[in-house]
Amino acid sequence: MTSTPDARFIEARLQDLRLARGGRTILENVSWTIRPGERWVLAGANGAGKTQLLKVIGGSVWPTPETPRAREYRWRGQLWRTPQEVQGEIAYLGPERQDKYERYGWNHTVEQVVGTGVHRTDIPLHRLDAAERKRVTAVLGRLRIGPLAARPFLTLSYGERRLALLARALASRPRLLLLDELLDGLDTLNRARALRWLESTARSALPWVLSVHRGEDVPVAATHALILDHGRVVFRGARSRAPLARWLGESPPRGAAVRASPATRPAAARRPRQAPGAVLVSLTDAHVHLDEHDVLRGLTLTVRAGECWVVHGRNGSGKTTLLRTLYGDHGVAAGGRIVRAGIEPGVPLETFQRRVALVAPHLQADHPQHLTVSEVVQSGRYASIGLNDAPSTADRAAARRAMRAFDVHSLAGRTLRELSYGQLRRVLFARAWVNRPALLLLDEPFAGLDGRTQQDLQARIERRAAEGAAVVIVVHRRAEWPRCATHELQLAGGAVRYAGPVRLSRGSSRSGTR
């Protein structure tokens, strides 16, 4: 006998739903019901339609066409045919929400950002009263990020922002929660915090949907799974019967050690030591301050041609700031020094940046959504956001080569708003590679990517390193370390905890996070 759904929460029902964009079918004949008390995992490869499906449910994207009964919502004993009446009760959290703060420069405190969830606004429009501040404090406490309350949002790391926005969603007291790749970019501690909260919902009737790309990110509390393949549902049902291993890859049980095989052991452990290459960029006693926050403290680092540096550390340790400082987005405080190869007084910084491949989450926010893929890749020739002048014949030819190399040439005429998160990441790789860079600066480059895409991009990074380029890559998971890694830099609180050759010995595990 089926129990009566809890009317306090939303039941969302899709029937033969179809979505097309730019003349291309994104979702086809999707039928799905999310009931109170159900906790769904949403899986599928990049471009399968996961993000668009969540947006359709949340009401920010409309089916094509809006047919009768394509979407229905039941709440408080009433039936609604469109999402307008319940949209405020549905909380959606995805990379685009996070990018929005970067794009518009919304740098309110974390308490204020979470408070916008209480008032269901984008930016703070009202002061929080005592009861509302208590509510915000309680949510931050549940996620164990209370110490961040007074920090300006844009001074947080990528992972810290993600948890702050989860707190914002929870502060709205949603009746349906949609989470798009929540666990991407989180370090071990913050990932555990997010998973702990997801597990706690097993005692609640709050329905949620969590999209994932890795088997290890499937919460034990999940009750159901839906799998998409090229916009079509290939599985819908109980998680215990779902073929998730096929779509997400097998993961070892939590806490299990995995012996590194020769194929997964860092190349540095297998190749002979080479003579040091030319210095491409160096920092000496570098301090970097952002909004009066001391992000990097006394950092010294030298990157030479042919080296591959893996940068790791907890969320907020300064990893992203380090890469943006090397690139030239942030300056070094007086008393410290940064030297870039070929950059002397009178030589513009762009001369260096055109030789650098930068792939970072903020670039997805910086690029206007109306730009086409071709325009974005062509802009990599000038290290610019968009094009200041019409592209030359050489620009077009170089962009075509890069798009073919990264298998995005078929997307050339599409705008960024038409792409999935994974497709956009490949486009940014093509943009970064368009000038055959001498230095790769890669900030969490595999976030939001399915296993096949990640493996392909890892191979391309390793190939470019084998050709002599230097690599500085920020990752959280050992499995994402390139096999060509020669050095590692561990940061803690903006300072160096370790800098030197890779410490991974033969037979050590590369499977965990660090």
Q: Measured between alpha carbons, how far is 104 from 401 in angstroms, rounded to an integer?
A: 33
Give the model's pLDDT for residue 263.
37
Give the model's pLDDT for residue 507.
36
Pairing of strands 470-474, 439-443: parallel
Pairing of strands 176-180, 90-93: parallel
Q: Mark whether 85 and 191 lie in a shared domain.
A: yes
Give me the helices (H) in 434-499, please.
Answer: 451-466
* Domain presence at residue 232: yes
How many domains are contained in the chain? 2
Residue ranges of the chain with per-residue pLDDT less than 70 = 1-4, 66, 249-275, 504-514
| Residue pointed to by tokens 């190399």 | 405
pLDDT digits (tens, 9 = 90+) for 413-425: 999 988 888 888 8
How far is residue 429 from each of residues 157, 358, 366, measured CA to CA in Å?
Answer: 22, 8, 15
Give the model's pLDDT for residue 66.
66
Angle subtended at Cα 423 by Cα 225 and Cα 154, rounded to the nearest 5 degrees: 90
Q: Mark whether 50 and 159 lie in a shared domain.
A: yes
* Domain presence at residue 459: no
* Domain presence at residue 132: yes
Give the model's pLDDT for residue 3.
62
Q: Is there a contact between 231 and 44 (Cβ–Cβ < 8 Å)? A: no
Q: Measured between alpha carbons, how far is 114 from 135 in angstroms, rounded to an integer?
A: 10
Q: Measured between alpha carbons, how far is 235 from 228 in angstroms, rounded to an integer?
A: 7
* Domain presence at residue 412: no
Give the model's pLDDT for residue 512.
39
Q: In what order do the strands lie in the sheet with 224-229?
A: 90-93, 176-180, 208-211, 39-43, 224-229, 232-238
Q: Mark whether 211 and 153 lie in a shared domain.
A: yes
Q: Mark whether 241 and 337 lie in a shared domain.
A: no
Give the model's pLDDT for residue 274.
55
* Domain presence at residue 89: yes
Q: Mark whether 166 and 231 lie in a shared domain.
A: yes
* Domain presence at residue 387: no
Q: Measured between alpha carbons, how far is 16 from 141 in angstroms, rounded to an integer?
A: 41
Q: Mark whether 148 and 209 lie in a shared domain.
A: yes
Q: Mark whether 220 and 320 lie in a shared domain.
A: no
Q: Mark whether 231 and 318 lie in a shared domain.
A: no
95: domain range? 11-248
Give the model's pLDDT for residue 258.
32
CA 97, chain centre distance (Å): 11
Give the model's pLDDT for residue 243.
95
Q: Mark whether 150 and 215 lie in a shared domain.
A: yes
Q: Measured between alpha carbons, how far is 473 from 482 in angstroms, rounded to an integer?
A: 9
Q: Mark whether 35 and 141 lie in a shared domain.
A: yes
Give the model's pLDDT for residue 50.
94
Q: Mark whether 71 and 207 lie in a shared domain.
A: yes
CATH code, domain carrying 145:
3.40.50.300
Count of C-beta atoms within a 10 Å radius of residue 49: 24
* Domain presence at residue 379: no
With H, G, I as helix, E, B as strand and everything else as coil, classify residue 300. Answer: strand
Q: Mark whether 209 and 289 lie in a shared domain.
A: no
The pair of structure tokens assigned to 113 is 């950002």
* Domain presence at residue 39: yes
